[in-house]
Amino acid sequence: MSKAIIQAGWNDVPHLDDKTRRELAESFPLHEREARMNGVPVLGSGKVFPVAEESIVIAPFALPPHWPRIVGLDFGWDHPAAAAWLAWDRDTDTVYVYDTFRVRETSVAMQAPLIAARGRWMPVAWPHDGLQHDKGSGEQLAGQYRALGVNLLPERATFEDGSNGLEAGISELLTRMQTGRFKVFGTCGDWLEEWRLYHRKDGLIVKIRDDLQSATRYGVMMLRFAVVEPRGSTLGGRSAGYGGRRGGY
């Protein structure tokens, strides 16, 4: 006998108008709103990012060409490999997640074209496990991506002071979300799926299905290396940024 879970929220209830939804939302404590409004389960000891979804999700738009871009990449095999494409509005110091991919049990040779197709000129931020060597070939993981034309940054992702702590990265993202300086295109469904369920247990972040969250964190940590597409670039890839391709577990 098969089972399925169907998630439904207030947007699926046509008889609730905007005024009623707003009044109901304001009547609930902030930490209960996602569960009440969108059917998102309350897990562990609370969400990693306790902010309202509507405060970060926006409709896709054509990204201005003068906004620098960077990609965050999280390596994976059994757990998915994931990448998040970020654009940075320097005037307002706002980061936009505009495209993603998430793939499982997929080789570097298959992932590299997915990254390159979106613009080989964009620098790619990556985590410390890229320094590890493949047990079969003995080749460094980061080197495998570089050999296939992926524009990995010279060094692994760190903050400007050289630190790379998880909680520091989470704090940076949360502060941006709370101050309106972090936005996500509504087409990035896989990213939002992870974000809704990203939670803590006994105060600690549960590192399950967090691949796109990790990729985003690496990109934001290395935001200082984001670049604008060179004029007359021959490095290919679509870069206008309407994004949101779906991968899958």
Phi-psi category of 104—alpha, beta or left, where left has phi over 0 and alpha has psi -120 to 50? Answer: beta
| pLDDT in the model for residue 9 | 74
> CA 231, CA 223: separation in Å to the nearest integer?
21
- Sign, CA torsion 141/147/148/149: positive
Residue 71 CA: distances (Å) to CA of 122, 184, 216: 7, 14, 8
Which sign does the torsion angle of CA 42, 48, 54, 59 carry?
A: negative
8 A C-beta contact, residue 218 and residue 175: no
Nearest to 88 by CA among 224, 240, 214: 224
Specify the pLDDT at position 17.
82
Instruction: Give me the residues of the chain with pLDDT under 50, please.
Output: 31, 43-44, 239-240, 242-249
In the CATH scheme, what architecture does the domain 53-225 have?
Answer: 2-Layer Sandwich (3.30)
Q: Give the pLDDT score at 79.
A: 86
The pLDDT of residue 131 is 81
pLDDT value at position 232? 67
